[in-house]
Amino acid sequence: MSRITQRGATGPLALVANGTFQTSTDSSLGTLLGSRWDLSDGREVRLGQVATGTTVVPGKMYQSAAFIGDHQNLATTAVQAYSANGNVPAKVTVTLGSTAVTANQFRGGYMIVNDATGEGQTLKIASHPAADAAATCAFTLEDGPTTALVAATSEVSLTPPEGSGIIIMPTTATGAVFGASLYNVAASAYAFFVTKGITSVLGDGTLTIGSAVSCSNAVAGSVENGVIAQGFVGTCAFTGVDTEYRAVVLNV
């Protein structure tokens, strides 16, 4: 039986319990979304939470929550600098586009400084309140930027936490590829997805042994022989038949 160990952890966590793969609805796992864990057989998995209304089946590719256009390229209205050894956290207030945010929707995700002063920085989001569409919203950051942002000058974009809102990989990606499913998972539950190593994945077309593979742009959740424009997610380990599942060495 495979056993799982988080990198740096002092002991293993069983991947299976009572003959079934583990899932959980424990909301405290939200702080571990996207974390990488090692299986004793050399594979790597990450923890994700399935989106509401989505159920997961084995052997398909899944992505994290879709990026929201109304949460990109946002104007900043206020900037609070990190100070007093963190007793005063860094905080950036932005004006949202035409889509509201729920409380802590982006906790564990990132604020990308996409333009003007401080551009190029990736800042992890610690917390934020709910806010209406087109309203302002203050995002508390885990650390302060190394180059200070300037209100009304710096522009930022919001990135969902990896592993949140997992959905089947669509034929046109709307978010970051997360990994392949190992087992059935109910909507809204937490579970592990394979990111590195051999796993079964649905094939679109005849997969060629040794060929790089990409997420398919024709069949949701499947892979096809590699297409540069679609990015690569691994290598075919055994020649595959269209619509069947074959071993793929993932590298997501």
Phi, psi of 230 (to 5 degrees): -100, 0
In whole angstroms, what is the distance from residue 72 CA to residue 99 CA? Answer: 11
pLDDT of residue 41: 83
C-alpha distance from residue 113 to each of 34, 46, 81, 116 (Å): 21, 26, 15, 8
**pLDDT score at 171:** 97
- Listed as ranges, residues in the chain with pLDDT below 50 are 1
The tokens describing 63, both together, are 């992505």
pLDDT digit string (tens) for 107-141? 999 999 999 999 999 999 999 999 999 999 999 99
**Claim: this prediction has a pTM higher than 0.85:** yes
Tokens at 211, concatenated: 């060929």
The position carrying tokens 């949701």 is 220
- Following DSSP, what letter does each residue of 81-121 receive, concatenated? --BGGGTB--EEEEE--SS-B-TTTTTTSEEEEEESTTTT-
pLDDT of residue 1: 40
- Exposure of 195 by Cβ count < 10 A (0-12 exposed, 13-18 middle, 19+ buried)? buried
Question: CA-CA-CA-CA torsion for 240, 46, 106, 64, nearest 10 degrees?
Answer: 10
The encoded tokens of residue 249 equal 């060495």
Which helix (H) or strand (E) covers residue 61, if one does?
strand 61-63
Distance of CA 181 to the CA centre of its chain: 14
pLDDT for 74 equals 98
CB atoms within 10 A of CB 24: 13
Distances (CA, A) of 40 to 4, 44, 91, 126: 6, 9, 41, 32
